[in-house]
Amino acid sequence: MRIVFAGTPEFAVSSLRAAARHHEVVAVYTQPDRPAGRGRGLAPSPVKLEAVARGIPVFQPENLKDEAAQQQLRALQPDLMVVVAYGLILPRAVLAIPTHGCWNVHASLLPRWRGAAPIQRAIQAGDAQTGVCLMQMEAGLDTGPVLLQQALPILPTDTGGQLHDKLAELGAQVLADGLGLLRAGLKPVVQPQPVEGVTYAHKLDKAEARLDWSRDAAALARTVLAFNPWPIAEAQLAGERVRIHGAVALEDNGGHAPGTVIGAAREGIDIACGQGALRLRVLQREGGKAITAADYLNARRDLRVGA
């Protein structure tokens, strides 16, 4: 099969490898190089780096609405277009170009968590499981029928980064299964998404990373997990802004007002919340690196219980 692959971030790299393993990937589409790093120089996407290493031609249009870009895609004569976290909307005209249409690897069990940030939103919501769907794309946002899916439990300790890596590998496996069926002339049977249970995983916003101590400690602990490694939760701690890389929820806040430091020991720094308390285990000061609560307390000898 002649496959065109469209993807951008690290999440899509495993799927590109799976697509290239037994099929001819004739081209890769990825977003244009973007400024990155302290020097703000233009940096290629992880998918572009993988494609270049494999000798696959790379195309980086600003969008696919342009007739010239669509004509370029038609000239590739793709049997299938595989889309994984590409980050650009595909017009109807593009969806109709490949012989078998466009397939999308999506990191949730649709119709739950359609949209941009399904991995983090599943952790934030306290979902017991998530998974990957291989979907036939249509004009709506993640509304197309599902071809294959595979569930995955969410562990209580899973961070956004850890779950991302698990789902990236699972997505590659599900894609490989679907491509194997199609290659054998057994295209997966489409299953329309249920009408019930639709939720949307809105794009992450840095403003959401600021913890509000008046909220429930369990919800804050899930936010700390979900936002690791980006954008990393942050909060005010005894007059200092810190980033929080690791925390657990405690049931009792001792009746203290939200934001009060009610415990400070090697095991962690306990902050009263609207319900329960949040024990901060790994923190980061301005301009510093992530350190344990014990190391933080060595640097903050002024910090006392009730401060």
Residues annotated in the binding site for (6S)-5,6,7,8-tetrahydrofolate, as ranges? 108-111
Quote the CA–CA distance of 26 and 73 in Å, as a whole number.
Answer: 10
**Nearest to residue 103, comparing CAs of 2, 201, 5?**
5
| β strands within 49-186, DSSP E | 58-59, 80-84, 102-106, 114-115, 129-136, 146-153
Quote the CA–CA distance of 21 and 6 in Å, as a whole number.
Answer: 16
φ/ψ of 6, rounded to 5, equals -125, 120
Q: Which residues are annotated as a binding site?
A: 108-111
Distance between the two ends of the chain, CA-based, in angstroms?
66
**Nearest to residue 68, comparing CAs of 31, 94, 30, 87?**
94
